[in-house]
Amino acid sequence: MDNMLGYLETLSALFIFFLGMGVIAIIYMYIVDKTQKKQAIRRNYPVIGRFRYFFEKQGEFFRQYFFAMDREELPFNRAERSWVYRAAKNVDRTVAFGSTRNLEPTGTIMFMNCAFPTLEEDAVAPSCITFGLECREPYTTDSLFNISALSFGALSAPAIKALSDGAAKVGCWLNTGEGGVSKYHLASGADLVFQIGTAKYGVRDESGQLCDKRLAELAAKPQIKMFEIKMSQGAKPGKGGILPGIKVTQEIATIRGIMPGVDSISPNAHPDIKSVKDILTMVNRIREVTGKPVGFKAVIGESLWLINLLKEINLQGREFAPDFITIDSADGGTGAAPQPLMDYVGLPLKESLPLVDNLLIEYGLRDRIRIICAGKLITPSKVAWALAMGADAVNSARGFMFSLGCIQAMQCNKDTCPTGITTHDPKLQQGLDPVSKAERVANYHKFIQYGVGLLAHSCGVTHARDLGRHHVRVIQENGLSVALDKLHPYEQTNN
């Protein structure tokens, strides 16, 4: 009996000891999680947040039995997200034992390696391009890959700060989005493209009209390199920007010139643009006031207006042309959009990009108007494909959001983003450290450009902007491939 009591006392002592050690361990993990700055989930949800990374790791072993395969998820599959995460963290991006990518489905693209690839010692930095050669202040950049329109409001202050700092580190541009320019955009000195949405946030007068004085004030800021008129965007063609009132803080309301706490809903079109002539009028007005390159962003659907625009440019003169066209895709995404528009409206980039490129060639304007494109291009292969199809530069929003730590929680419009990227809740924002995340943004950009260079050199060209449609083939319904220059032949110029 005495032995039994002694045994129970020992068990009790051990239980209390291990319980105490467990409490100490939890307290230790709590302190570590709250003070570390690399992982927003752990900082916002100390201890509990660790399970996310544990389950993510276990998924590598169990998903083939219980979960979706690497390339089955939408809007971005696990393989794509995983590559972005590894690139942003600057860890091993190689794979073993063969690709999980199925090469048989219709539409699959493949780059054609040549017999004599370009050697690394023959490689040069990405070629420079200049926007607005005829402007008072042209803009020259060598960046292939840039940060697409991300408004302060849709994104948090720490997220914008991290993106701006990361862009400054690598020399790419950051598009302000239609929410106006904030101190977080300007803080790092990064190159900025100021977007003018249908509500004219940041450049409107008291009556909501485009204000030349505000344009001139913005143009005086050396960080702002170009102006982009947003006609439409990929997630909601025909619908203006939507920022729920819960995300309209006093600071955001001041920048936009609206009331705090009230839904910020932009008109579905520019009230002062009702024809192709109106587009050119606004482009040239902004360019004359600012002296900087001006273009427009649009989702391509019905294309007759674009043909009429190019005809009008040739009537008025090449000098009146926009300096660039940003093609957004039906593949685009945003924090808040009606599902019918997001799911069913607009052409995907694989059709709209060669269409615009061919029309510019046909009307003799390809050397005058640059093409920027956006739409789910978050990995080197997709960026290289876009360059081969005619783009001069590629924009990405969600790719850079992944580099900040986005986990595709699909809560962008609810102000409950668990990573602090798309929320204005201070408790959630504290998990996003701009300093460490800026480094990840820079890493992601660096490895995108490096990966694009690998593909270009394999195809035998010196730098990525030399890629053409003949370097890419696409699988057809019969299971065989055809070169993209045969599927989308270049148009002959009329001039």
Read off the pLDDT of residues 5-50 as tens digits, 9 standing for 90 and up.
Answer: 667 777 787 888 888 888 898 898 888 888 888 888 888 888 888 8
Please provide the DSSP assignment of 162-208 as one string. Answer: HHHHHHHHHT-EEE--TT---HHHHTT--EEEEEE-TT-TTSB-TTS
How far apart are the C-alpha atoms of 293 and 319, rounded to whole Å?
12
Chain-centre distance for alpha carbon 251: 24
Position 65 scores a pLDDT of 44
Q: What are the sequence ranges of the domains in the chain? A: 2-102, 127-455
Mean pLDDT (the chain) is 85
> Encoding tokens for residue 484?
């993209």
Residue located via tokens 């009606």: 338
Query: Which of 85-99, 286-300, 337-351, 413-427 has maximum average pLDDT?
Result: 286-300
How far apart are the C-alpha atoms of 267 and 239, rounded to whole Å?
7
Average pLDDT over every residue of 100-117: 84
Given a contact cutoff of 8 angstroms between Cβ atoms, the answer to whether 398 and 376 are in contact is: yes
Secondary structure E strands in 42-159: 109-111, 129-131, 139-141, 145-147
> Encoding tokens for residue 106?
């219709």
Please provide the DSSP assignment of 125-144 as one string. Answer: PPPPEEE-TTSSS-EEE--S
Residue-wise over 142-160: b if at least 16 C-beta within 10 A, else e? ebbbbbbbbbbbbbbbbbb
67, 94, 145, 266, 288 from 293: Cα distances, Å:
48, 40, 18, 24, 10
How far apart are the C-alpha atoms of 251 and 182, rounded to whole Å?
9
Average pLDDT over every residue of 212-221: 95
Let me know the angle formed at the C-alpha of 459 by 173 and 365, rounded to the nearest 5 degrees. Answer: 55
Specify the CATH number of the domain 127-455.
Answer: 3.20.20.70
Average pLDDT over every residue of 104-131: 80
pLDDT, tens digit (0-9, with 9 covering 90-100), for 48-79: 888 777 776 666 555 544 555 565 566 777 77
How far apart are the C-alpha atoms of 438 and 166, rounded to whole Å?
4
pTM of the model: 0.84
Residue of 178 and 387 predicted with greater confidence: 387
